[in-house]
Structure 1
């Protein structure tokens, strides 16, 4: 898998200071693979716009955005940390988030994974999510 070229720094959210060490958090990872390389920039720009308002989202602990621009695949996505699954769902249902998803849904393929983990520190969460993004661990198979 190509090397990830860019990742933002940790951006704390509204609940960043209230999470006790060892508390259970929800980790969400998204990946959007564009059908055309030139679409990657617009998806990334929308993510950066959304990142400006994201810190005020209830239950948001922290986030990173990432982009992988390669000769064969152009991917972008996010790693987010939440205090509860309901807060992640609340973000997904936000009108600005839904508008972005609708605007780009025919331009690529989206996949996501969520899991719970104890929050020891943000680097431990990042490392576990990064293994998924970088391809050192397989994406979980969807179950219904």
Structure 2
């Protein structure tokens, strides 16, 4: 069991290992936090996130990922771990991902935090991600 600072009402999906889940060196971590405007939008975001999660095992440089949600707040997102920031940026430029971003631009608030870690330590990553998720979320302009 991981020790985290997630508050009650936060759903953390199980760890989804990527093709580089045995990576032992430094990693890059990215936390995304989406704020939807309606229950219908949040359901669609969760569905899209789960579909993207199915492609995870083939993502170049992907160490692994957790999806998280706060249904009562219409929020959710991911905690993704990569071999490098370059690998994460490759995913961000992936045509499937860019189409999703275009479709949701202006419809949701987005918060992001990212950092380099000396190695993959699940508890440390989840603790820092929990601190990020606990911060108040403002709607993006």
Question: When the two structures are superposed, what TM-score results if normalisation uses the length of structure 2?
Answer: 0.84
Q: Residue 117 of structure 2: SS of its match in structure 1? A: strand
Corresponding residue of 2:59: 57
Which runs of 5 or more structure 1 residues have no equivalent in the other structure? Answer: 140-144
Distance 1:96 1:32, change over 3 A: same
How many residue pairs end up in the alignment?
A: 132
Corresponding residue of 2:116: 116
CA apart distance, 1:78: 0.3
Contact preservation (8 Å) 2:27, 2:120: no
Residue-by-residue CA offset, 1:30-50 (whole Å, 9 max, x unaligned): 011012232100001000000
Contact preservation (8 Å) 2:61, 2:84: yes
CA apart distance, 1:81: 0.5
CA apart distance, 1:5: 3.3
Distance 1:126 1:44, change over 3 A: same
Residue-by-residue CA offset, 1:44-100 (whole Å, 9 max, x unaligned): 100000000012111100100011022xx3101000001111000000011111111
Q: CA RMSD in A?
A: 2.0
Contact preservation (8 Å) 2:29, 2:79: yes
Residues 128-139 of structure 1: matches in 2 within 5 Å? 128-135=128-135
Question: Using the alignment, how far apart are the partners of 1:50 and 1:110 within structure 2?
Answer: 17
Question: Using the alignment, how far apart are the partners of 1:83 and 1:119 within structure 2?
Answer: 9
Which runs of 5 or more structure 2 residues have no equivalent in the other structure? Answer: 1-5
